[in-house]
Structure 1
């Protein structure tokens, strides 16, 4: 056996041999093996045997029941040995053999008598992986196995160059002792027919791995995994698959790979699956997948990827599964463009905050989308519209504050929608009514307070729908909806299941006892956790189960005046039969009919409240009585009636308000007009009277006219009109101030010295301003701009005067910008055409970005076409204001934009506002000027 350490290996072999002899002495060869039959591959009964033996030499076909039909054997030994004369000739018909913890050394005679063997597994550990006795393999250990197709060597002490095995197609080498894998790297070269190669936890010399895979043109599957310490591939070798053109499946997981070579996959153009998960990859090169048009599955999960270029996946036209989960991605632009065959995308466990509205435009065949555990706070209403085949959408653990019907309007095939652990505040089941196949709507641990359209659950879904609203902020149990769903009986074979526990419920007089609901036919089927729901308020009922409380526990504070030192409660009318159609309540004493008094009596049709001392009626007292047809309020103490009180009672046919001390006012006449139009039977004869303020004589309401009460059209709205006028005027003032804010800021600065957006200019700057201009515009600077500013006290830096002779112009520009409080850009077509002027702007712009202060003042000298301007400058002009040469307020605006230099400068700025341009032009043909930059002269 070849080895780098012959003395060490010889010593180890002798020790193992001695230990083997001592073990054999104590082992009894007479002790038989115990075997049991198990279903074999494909579920064939009685075709597989599992045996536990003292040693491998004690194994005999006589111990195996039904041996003639056995094709698969698994043997676990209690002690290892290496008998020189061991032969497994009794097992000549076995096709698959797995031996655990049985050998010290595999001799060349051990398997010679197994010509039918197709699969052989040798593992130095027992089935529980404890203990492990590493075994030795000789180069001739597997001679005489012409039909062996699969060989697995696990926990071997070493693997030499192996001979024979002409039919070998699959080779697995796993957990070789201390990573000492291959002393002769021509191992795999001996098997040109190899289709699958697995290398797990066994690499010690990384630079030899590419040699290991040489000359295997038929190799289809490579699995090199769990080599984090020994392999430590910082960079994946570029020529790793140079001679494996037939490669179809590649798995390189848990290998500490950090950098992917851009060309490493280029020789393997037949790949269909690639798994690079659980590494330390931070960046995927744009050309990494070039030419991989057969690739179907890509797994890049559990890495440190923070950026993916837009064209990284552009060649993967056949890709169906993409896993980018558990990385550090913060944004994704158009990386999915053109991937028409994608079915599954997993982008969970990243740091995505915003997704472009068109990111899934081409993913029309997508069926599953994982976006859980990101930082997504909002989604564009159209982002999922192309995904008409989507079946599973997972948005758990994000920052979503709201969703809408428009967001899911095209998801008619959706089966699973999970939006748990977000910040949703409301949900409407109507948003999902078109999803007939939906079976999971999971919305737990949000901030949902309002749940609407419960009736959709009865009709829009096929059944088996689970709705999870656990641990939200729902304060009131939807008892009406609970009763409607739980009362369906057998008319609907499958009802939705709704979970409502762990919400802060208010247990007041509006709570119907849970016990009444639980007695309904299918209550527990529809609401399985209803019996466990607890109260949150009032405090004395906190954490008590509603089902265990008597009806008298559910109280509301009494809104009428309560005697001092007393606590008054109302039990309301919640326990009246919801199906009640007629209430006769005359002759009582109820001065006020509060809002919600008749809540829950939706079926009520006739209501008598006459002769009950009623003085006040809340505007919403009858709003819930949608089926009310008759209302009797005669013989009470009503002084005011408003049409708003009855407006929502759309089916009202009979209304009696006679013999009430009504007051004649415009509201009463408006009520009269409404009632005569909308109520079939209402009479304003002598029984319906009113009196004016201070007058004791009652007059029939039928005889009162508007002009007597000064109810001219629109009088009642005069205050509203005045208020609206004031609001409109204020808005106009605000808009005018905003529109002319620049002018107002300059005017206030010149008159009062006020600045509204001061910049911390600091005292460490040499110049107040550096003027950047084209040499062709130098006359404007020399004759007008520079003198005008220096007269006002500003310290300027100018090309022709202050740049040091012979110095590097690029360095000088950068240093000058940093040493100036402002940079004045004299923008003209000449400036745009100058490369040095562009450098000056970029230096100033960089300083703006570093300081996070706008220190650039742009003066536009002539008309420019923005499309010809540098992109950075173009963007700056679109997002910032600039000055125009020749503006009547030019000097005042310019002084406001520059740092303060004293009162004197401010006063001077108001002089000479108009600039005479007759003598100054952007080009003067009579003067030839030059720019000298870095020993280069450019005539301009």
Structure 2
């Protein structure tokens, strides 16, 4: 192989390896992309636990931006009037849909066709008049349909055709008028279990008009229909266990015709409230359920109440008797004498003022007695004769005093409700017999003193409600006897004084409510909460707790509450700025939730939360914090929810270094920032919900990233983003932020950097390859440019010719020029020649001398050798002369080769090769001993015209191939 080719091949292989390395580096640059935190926003809804909530948004149509992944959709309380066929087509995963309280009057065909997973549909409180053909097509998995309180008059025969899985249908409060319309519905519902058709203006109910076969119904509600006739001629309800019938609108007695008393023999719950039926028919009705009835409701009965009670109490299986709203102002000793099997009696809302002492004497098995919403002035003595009573409800009466004997012998009582009365004080002996009491409700009274009522006697009490009273102090050992108490509600009193032993004995207490009192910070010291070693929730909100400085407290109030999980201290009543002591939370090692909104703190020490490493929810809203130091959050890396609304924050930059990698919920409403930067969000990788309502945003390119992120991405929900408004600049004020057009500022610096880097890499690769394979061509191009530049400078000038020829040669060839060329042409022939060392003007730039010499001579003689081609100045001289030859079309160039030069060495000099292919040249080595011929040819060349089209001289030396 030729050595030159071998060398070129080696260079090519090296270049290929370099190319591969560059390509690999380029690919790595492309794939090195950081995944962003995603975000999204719905125009009128919000997403919570896979449910889209659009309640009360004044919608007139179903939103089109509901994510297809939701399983629940709540569109209640809107103004939707038409359900279109395309409204739910993409919600394939929807299992429940709530359209309650709208203006829906029309449902297009196939509107629900795409909801193949839907199980529950609520269309209550709308304006539907007609259920058209196949209106519910596609709902073959629906199990519950509620369509009450509409105006339905007509039902098509195929409306319910596809609802073969339906188990509950509530079509009450409509205008069906006739039972035959129900037949069109029930024929397609083989698995229906519950049917509610109350208040439909039905005047007759006859089984043969409804169906001719047995139904699987277990629950049937026919109440509030003015039925004149109720007739069952066949056993169409063999599984019915719950039956309700009766209407206040019916003034005349209804005809009851059940031809076989076994037709209703499985009914266990019967509600005949407001039923107007003759006593004989009523006896037959109750007789038909004589063997199965356990619960009977006879509310608001207008006739024969005493007789009905006597009849019903003869049913041996009946256990629960409800007699609400029957205007029983007095309960005599005989009213319930036959109710020996009753275990639950409800006499709510009867305006009862007096109960005979023996009124319940025969109710030996009574366990639950409800006397709420009456006018009792005292605890009736009749309740003392109920040794099995476990629940007594005396709420909402006129009871003002409680005596020690009121609950005598109530050893099995578990629940006692005395709330919403006028009780002013308790007595120490009041609960002495209630050894088994677990729940005591005394809220909403006027109790001012406890008088030691809880120091003993209630060893099993677990829930005590004393809220909304007039207590001003909790004295020492006030709850000492409540060792089992778990929940104590003392909220909404007037408590100012707490003794350091107020809660002694409450070793099992888990929830303590002290909100809305007048407690001050000094009452929290002296270890007041130390006995509450199992406390989980403590509510001290809306009191008067206020600290004047943030220095450490000598006795932190919660130091012994290591099990506390929730602490609420929000909304303290004071006017001046407050502080939170650095060790306020000391001891709360398991605290999960801390709510401290509106306590007028202006700053927080960075060590505030060092005692609460498990904190997951932090609420600091409505405090003038203005800024939050990032290191404040360092001790709470598990934080999931953060509320910082109305805190006068100027930016969210603290999130960058706060290390809140688990934060899922951020509410930051009504602050002072106007720009949300990418850096503020990207450091919250777990964020799923962002609430920024009420901020005045800047509508310019600073928010372009936030706008795009809020609308388009799909991980973080930006709540109510479509209602964000602009506050600046003035021309955009009060306009919607998301209406701002960001197209003109969609400059992605990351993408630009990517493009610049890519272009730089590609340019580097091109330059490397070019230099590696074509560096000689580049050198030639450089000299060519210089020659072109000077040619442009001189070609329009009419320079006078001073010389016959300019001699361009390398210093290595100078002896030949001086010794042979110069004597021959100047000495013998008389030609005037221009030489570097002799004729160049001293002090002028070399390039100017060269240019003037070439353009001031008729010809340029280039003495070419290998050294000549390697010379920088010689290359410039030949390029300038070649420009005159090719660009001016002037024959000025004479080439004289001093040695044989291979063609490949001339390859970078494209113009020289082009010249040699068109013109002859002189070769000194080939002249040999015939030098005279060489000089003769050279003289002829000097004498030829400058027209390049003139006939070329025939030299003895042949042209180069």
**TM-score if structure 1 supplies the norm length?**
0.48
Higher relative contact order (CA 8 A, sep 6+): 2
